[in-house]
Amino acid sequence: MCHIEDVRNRQNALSSVLWYNLNSLGGRVKILLLEPYCGGSHQAWAEGYAAHSNHEVKLLSLSARFWKWRMQGGALTLAERARALRSRPDVILASDMLNLPAFLGLTRDFLADVPVALYCHENQLTYPFPPDDRRDLTYGMINWLSMLAANRVFFNTQYHMDDWFDELPNLLKHFPDYAHVHRVAEVRAKAGVLPVGCDLQRFDPVPDPAVATRPPGLPPLILWNQRWEYDKDPQTFFRALYMLQIEGVNFRVALAGPSYRQAAPEFEAARKRLGERVVQFGYADEDGYVDILRQADVVVSTAIHEFFGVAIVEAIYCGCFPLLPRRLSYLEIIKPAYHEACLYDSFEGLLERLRLVLTEPKRSRELASQLCHTVARFDWSKMASHYDRALEALLGD
């Protein structure tokens, strides 16, 4: 979930104070964090690291609008703001939405020898486009050139890293000459995995899912807390619910998560068809979201794309039993011991597991009680030190 604006302003003010008092703190690394598209999970990541790092992090950001323009022109604005700081960082951490070569070119007179890490939340080469849209290779090329310019490249999962490097040669072979395919191995050698940090402790205390707390007679609650977008494939999710509805299986459903479309016809159709089963429809504020996570019994993903899955991790931490496709990043998010119970290979596998969770919930509650502890490894209280060490290492290169 996005942090509200006043939290963001307080964090930026705090980091500004820290930025200008570094000399008295001794031993801390000055980190300039650049996020041209600061909204949603990007904002939560940037502000989360700034808040939990043992170093001094100054966040320069732009609002999460006009993503193509942010990738094309954001470097110029952030270069101007970096110059206005009149203070030199030890390390730069930039997100994949930045045209890093442009930023470095515009700041070469005062940042030329500062080491840089690029963090890839996603990429514009393998992120799935709608069937009626055509991919503009310009933005995948910006990602590639940024990787070449960085000292280190971090991906949020191994799946994401492999997905990028598997497709990258196909991008380079589009060009008539000087494709530089030989540089792929060089960039892969400086790439690694650094999972997204999540603010999970904000949900504490969470109830133990192994202890049934739902009032008698209240049906189990199915949760959708992902974006209302094509890449999450909500049609398959609703198809499963409709079949269970026809079978007479008793359930409720919370349709949370953000929507960036003017209309979401598949969600509106589900609201009408499922009727009173729908207990939440649309984006919930922070308090409402926390309540939904604590009440939900099972969280379902039917995604065709997922490079990490912050929303799923949040739901699992709060005690939701996950039903996820056996692919994408979920193979890493879910520990192998739980793959058979939580991951499905087909629509029939999803339907079978969902039916079992709803009609015989005891086993899934026991597993959910174990799973919530496994995803605690992504909380910033544990992840921030990994980021700190990774950036410290750049100073020794």
Is the pLDDT higher at 341 or at 14?
341
**Coil vs helix vs strand at 343:** strand
3-state secondary structure of 25: coil
For residue 319, give the DSSP letter. T
Q: How far is CA 179 from CA 118, 183, 189, in A?
A: 22, 9, 19
Our CA angle for 99, 102, 105, nearest 5°, is 150
Per-residue pLDDT tens digits for 292-347: 999 999 999 999 999 999 999 999 999 999 999 999 999 999 999 999 999 999 99
Q: What is the pLDDT of residues 102-133, one digit of tens each?
A: 999 999 999 999 999 999 999 999 998 877 77
Task: Assess contact for 118 and 96: CB atoms under 8 A.
Answer: yes
Cis, peptide link before residue 205, omega less than 30° from 0: yes
Q: pLDDT digit string (tens) for 270-281?
A: 999 999 999 999
The Cα–Cα gap between 88 and 109 comes to 11
Cα separation, 253 vs 241, in Å, equals 9
Antiparallel, parallel or unpaired: β 56-63 and 152-155: unpaired
Q: How far, in Å, CA of 201 to CA of 51, rounded?
A: 13
Measured distance CA(391)–CA(90) in Å, rounded: 9
Q: Is pLDDT at 159 greater than 80 in this prediction?
A: yes
Taken in order of first residue, the domains within the chain and their CATH numbers are 5-198+380-396 (3.40.50), 201-378 (3.40.50.2000)
Other beta carbons within 10 angstroms of residue 393's beta carbon come to 14
Min mean pLDDT across 85-89, 147-151, 155-159, 262-266 is at 262-266
Is the distance from CB of 395 to CB of 90 less than 8 angstroms?
A: yes
